[in-house]
A and B are shown apart, each in its own frame.
Chain A
Amino acid sequence: MAAISREEVAHLARLSRLAVTDEELDRFAGQLEVILQAVARVGEVAAADIPPTSHSVPLTNVLRDDVVVPGLAREDALSGAPDAAEDRFRVPRILDEEQ
């Protein structure tokens, strides 16, 4: 269990939207292998019937009163954007030329 190939790391990097270099792929493959082997120890615990804990506070469906409160002003929301146009976030093209 937990042997991870260079190709798998490349796949993970793609899923993670990280344009990693070849040199990083080599290094990360070894490091992720060590980490995954260590964390795989959770498998030693017999826990088939145990409910999972997602967080420690026993609260569900926390809602606030439906009262209008001021939000961020548009210029504040856009203030940190790397690129904005016409009061919107400007993004690189999302469609290929032929689409």
Chain B
Amino acid sequence: MLIKTTATELGRRLAAREISAVEVATAFLDRIGAVDERVHAFLHVDAEGALAAARSVDEARARGDELGPLAGVPVAVKDVIATRGVPTTCASKILEGWRPPYDATIVERMRQAGLVILGKTNMDEFAMGSSTEYSAFGPTHNPWDLDRIPGGSGGGSAASLVAYEAPLAVGTDTGGSIRQPGAVTGTVGAKPTYGGTSRYGLVAFSSSLDTPGPCARTVEDAARLHSVIAGHDPRDSTSIPAPVPDVVAAARRGAEGDLTGVKLGLVKEFAGEGAEPGVIAAFREGVEALLKLGAEVVEVSCPHFEYALPAYYLIAPSECSSNLARFDGVRYGLRVGDDGARSLEEVMSVTREAGFGPEVKRRIMIGTYALSSGYYDAYYGQAQKVRTLLSRDFVRAFEQVDVLVSPTTPFVAFPFGSRTSDPYQMYLADLYTIPSNLYGGPAISIPCGLSEGLPVGFQIMAPTMADDRMYLVGAALESTLAPPTPPDL
């Protein structure tokens, strides 16, 4: 069945001309039409654009043009990423209907590689949340259990994969928004090294943390999409001017299942804290599986990891309060209350009040508080210092081990509504994912068994610009575990 085929295999069959890009795109568009009413992974489906892109790949192939290995393979794009002429709302009322006049760099690169963009996926508003419940347009439902959350913020991208609505998706990871949805949907989600993938054309949430990356059903598929979107971009001043590690080769080598000589670090400070027993049990089985492949395990201490969550929930809101100032009802998006009597400032305030949802408002206010004179040193300034200490913990740990491993998130997919009344309960979903964002290193979530019938994610964290290591270990783990089989929709 076409829709259950991996992206790598689709690419191979397309190159062999066994199937056409139009056939592939049509199969996924049909599937979206059949199931998305129940899943709601997409905010916008661009059938016309997808079929046009697929046709042009087929024509190029017929001409004998040199095409990349993913040419003709469809991809779903998180709605925080600018797509020229295609609505980009960040799941917010304030950007409803906005059509960007340009493509993000990663979108440009996917188009050049012949990937076919199916549409834009649902998310928590402005990528703030862990469940998609903060989407202004209604949540995405987890295909494993439609009454549960698909993770967030990139729940739509992850759910589109597990619902077989797309073979690949892209997300953005600021505190876990690719990896935690991957974990709770039983898919692969990778956060590249910060600066390894361009931020140009992402609607900014927290500029020092935002990192676009691949979502896929297999490690090799993720690596292939990673290699398309990664690499230096002069339009992003924090883009790293260095070659991208060969992540595809690493994934293929890892799939051979030999981890002799690879040292895994278990973070002492993560041991059991806050995680469900079923998640810990599945994680331990994952570690056992890696040991059988020849890996060694060493316990390491990262004393500042316990401050990662508070530091993040100061740094990210501070940056967000500044970044979201651009939504002023002047250059794009919503404007409310412009009746000729109200001043610019009043129009701005009623526009933002009407356009932003509650979580976005909370974060803007927390950030405004943390940056205000009198509180700056104790909050934002102190959080930045903790960030330094936490990064040093990583550097020291990587002197002893090749990668760090942990569960991706402390709990499996939770029922809708169970964590929205106390916002801090939602933040705890990011307990294990945030450290890599603060440090800047890459990290990946790999499906690792089930707890109470729901997927558990296994996280592998690597040093900055050693993205290949997480693919190596991730593919090895994948090769030794039974693939997750979601229920039929």
Contacts and interface: CB of A to CB of B under 8 A. Distances in A.
Interface of A: 1, 4, 9, 12-21, 24, 27-28, 31-32, 34-36, 38-45, 47, 50-57, 59, 62, 64, 72-73, 76-77, 79-83, 89, 91-94, 96
Interface string B403-432: 000000000000000000011100100000
Contact of A16 (B321, B338, B342, B346): B321
A42 B438 CA distance: 14
A80 B332 contact: yes
B356 A80 contact: no
15 contacts: A12-B365, A16-B352, A18-B356, A18-B361, A32-B365, A32-B366, A40-B310, A43-B382, A53-B387, A57-B195, A59-B238, A81-B331, A82-B332, A82-B338, A94-B343
A59 B385 contact: no
Contacts of A41: 307, 310
Contact of A77 (B101, B372, B378, B389): B101
A95 B449 CA distance: 62
Does more than half of chain A's interface fall in helix, strand or loop, or is it mixed? loop
- Sorted from nearest, which 8 A-B pairs have the closest CB atoms? A56-B440, A52-B384, A80-B332, A82-B335, A55-B208, A76-B101, A47-B385, A19-B353
Contacts of A16: 321, 352, 361, 364-365, 368
Contacts of B440: 55-57
Contacts of B325: 17
A47 B98 contact: no
B479 to A, nearest CB: 31
B262 to A, nearest CB: 24
B353 A38 contact: no
A56 B99 CA distance: 32
Contacts of A20: 353, 361
B366 A57 contact: no
Interface in B317-334: 321, 325, 328-334
